[in-house]
Amino acid sequence: MSYRDIALQVLPEIQSLAEKVLSIEKLQEADLVAQRLLQSRDKREWAIAKAISEVGLTPSRPLMYWSAEMRDLPRNTRDCIRYLGDYMDLLVKEMTYELLGRKARHQSLGSNARSLLKKVPETRDLALEIKRYADSIYTPGKHDFSLPPGRKHRFTAKEVVLVAYITAELARRVLSVSKSARYAVEKDNMYTIGGRWGSANRVNYEGEWEERKRKTKP
């Protein structure tokens, strides 16, 4: 099957997470965006712009990288998933750092979700959804190069759109409770994105100097 033949398919684990996280209105909007990716050039451009506006472009790393990859939809889906996951990863690193300490900045998204579940009961619902995101989206996007049955691509265009909407909603929840996550987004220079494909260290914290300066201000 070509990428167009499978463009509107969605794996059950991604659909289930979308239904858990998103409102009916946002699910319907995401469905419309995905359908328009396969239509005329103008409608495709509208769909890409709509998905980008849902997530935003700050911090520029990785979201500017992500927005550039979105221009190739409905092709090139894996890199879109990877950069959306990098964004969620850096936000959760900061939230977990704020709640549990420095080790969080060197842990994976899934590990931080498990730490929150174990040690911060008040974040339980959010942490469960983050763990599902890591298990069904980010980890497969980085590490799983097998293909679901009948596919020649690991992810479909509609899955990218749903993940964009899921990421936007979970990001809003993290930012609403984490001052450190909001600060990382505001400064826009605290993380570098890169590293070997599939590496657990794709998102690296580079903000120690800025943080020390902030803490020593009179």
Minimum mean pLDDT among 116-120, 142-146, 148-152, 202-206: which range? 142-146
Minimum mean pLDDT among 33-37, 71-75, 111-115, 203-207: which range? 203-207
For residue 1, name the pLDDT band (cuts at 50, 70, 90).
low
pLDDT tens readout for residues 144-176: 666 777 777 779 999 999 999 999 999 999 999
pLDDT at 126: 98
* Lookup: tokens for 212: 């020390």
Cis peptide before 74 (omega within 30 of 0): yes
The helix/strand/coil state of 83 is: helix
d(CA 141, CA 85): 8
The helix/strand/coil state of 193 is: strand
pLDDT at 151: 73
* Lookup: tokens for 119: 């040690």
Q: Give counts: helices (H), strands (E), the chain.
A: 11, 2
Q: To which H or E segment does residue 76 belong?
A: none
d(CA 65, CA 83): 7
The helix/strand/coil state of 203 is: strand
For residue 6, name the pLDDT band (cuts at 50, 70, 90).
confident
Decide: 91 and 178 in contact? Cβ < 8 Å: yes
- What residues have CB less than 8 Å from 111, skipping those under 6 apart? none
CA torsion 149-155-157-159 (nearest 10°) is 100
Q: What is the pTM of this model?
A: 0.89
pLDDT at 207: 67
The answer, yes or no, to whether residue 55 has pLDDT greater than 90, is yes
Considering the chain, what is the average pLDDT of its residues?
Answer: 88
Q: What's the mean pLDDT in 114-139?
A: 96
The answer, yes or no, to whether residue 209 has pLDDT greater than 70, is no
